[in-house]
Structure 1
Amino acid sequence: MQIKTHQKIDNSLSGEVLSIEEGKSATVRLKTDNRMVADEKGLIHGGFIFSAADYCAMVTVNHPNVVLGSADVRFLKPLKLGQTAIFKSEVLSTEGRKTLLKVEGFFEDTQEKFFEGNFKCYTLDKHVLE
């Protein structure tokens, strides 16, 4: 498993890759910690959830110049401090440079789905900042 994209990502904040079937699917695990907490009750901020889901989509495409074009996501249940999330992606279609993916997030302990989204990714000829 060779990760070709987002190589400087902080895996403690965006998740660690468990598996990649390049161009088809990927699995990412996000272990929650105090840096992600939004309030005194231990609610994990949605930005960290989105980051892990986006990272899962990016490593599925697994190209150095992949970027996110858009996302339509739903937060179905809250994630709280101490819980671990598993994100699973699936490529729905590829047309030229555009890849459409589904990403779902599950509580690791119960496998109950708490997040779902559709991501539109583009593979560019050169880095987006060049």
Structure 2
Amino acid sequence: MTRHHKQERHQALQDEIVKNPFSTDEELAKRFSVSVSTIRLDRTDLGIPELRERTRAVAHEAYGTLKSLEEQELIGLLTELRIGKLGRSEMLIEENMVLDKARVARGHHLFAQANSLAIALVDNEMAVTGSVDLKFLRPAHLGETVIAEGKVLKRKGNKYWVDITAQVDQEDVLVGHWILFGFDEEISL
């Protein structure tokens, strides 16, 4: 490959990793029609760390901005969070999450991922779910990674309207519309 093509690939590789920092070397190799070894060499040349380090860095940055819940209360791996705007989390469907016979994720795991992401988007010290209009569109199977993306549509006072879409391989698994309430002091009963 000529130097010119290599430079173009390097630029495209950098752009792709900025857009999707969780791309594996195998996925990148397929996307750029080169070998996995070439991608690894390109990453080394560009100073781009391997997937595990990129994931750790992105997650650390996202968790540092959490406001309305504690890190251990979030279901899934938070990969992006801009409070009051948008967020993203990933969750691998593991053995303890699936129905024994069907081998698909129990609905409450998918809901928990989406609900905790919605709460994380609220720009208050505490948040509670007011209502949810939710549809499950297809099962998530053992071993699949569910990517939930959320967006704050509107805020009026302490009330937030949030849309969450969860996908596996760009196919919708769950879509929902949340109304949440944020508070900056303890809720008295």
Query: TM-score higher than 0.5 here?
Result: yes
Q: Could you report, residue by residue, the CA deviation over 1:17-47 in whole angstroms, capped at 9, with x for unpaired residues?
A: 1001110100011111111112223111000
Q: Residue in 1 aligned with 2:93?
A: 32
> How far has the Cα of 1:55 moved from its partner?
1.0
- CA RMSD in angstroms comes to 1.7
1:81–1:62 distance in 2 versus 1, CA, 3 Å: farther
Q: Which amino acid aligns with 1:114?
A: V
Q: Distance in 2 between matches of 1:71 and 1:83?
A: 25
| More helix per residue | 2
Q: Which amino acid aligns with 1:104?
A: T
Gaps spanning 5+ residues in structure 1: where?
none
Q: Distance in 2 between matches of 1:66 and 1:83?
A: 29
Q: With CA pairs under 8 Å and 6+ residues apart, which has the higher RCO, 1 or 2? A: 1
Gaps spanning 5+ residues in structure 2: where?
1-61
Greater gyration radius: 2
Contact 1:3–1:62 (CA under 8 A) maintained in structure 2: no
Q: Residue in 1 aligned with 2:68?
A: 5
Q: Distance in 2 between matches of 1:18 and 1:4?
A: 15
Q: What's the TM-score, normalizing by structure 1? A: 0.88
From 113, 117, 125, the equivalent of 2:176 is 117
| More strand per residue | 1
Query: What is the correspondence of 1:1-130 to structure 2 with a 5 Å cutoff?
Result: 1=62, 2-9=65-72, 14-107=75-168, 110-128=169-187
Give secondary structure in 1 for the equivalent of 2:155: strand
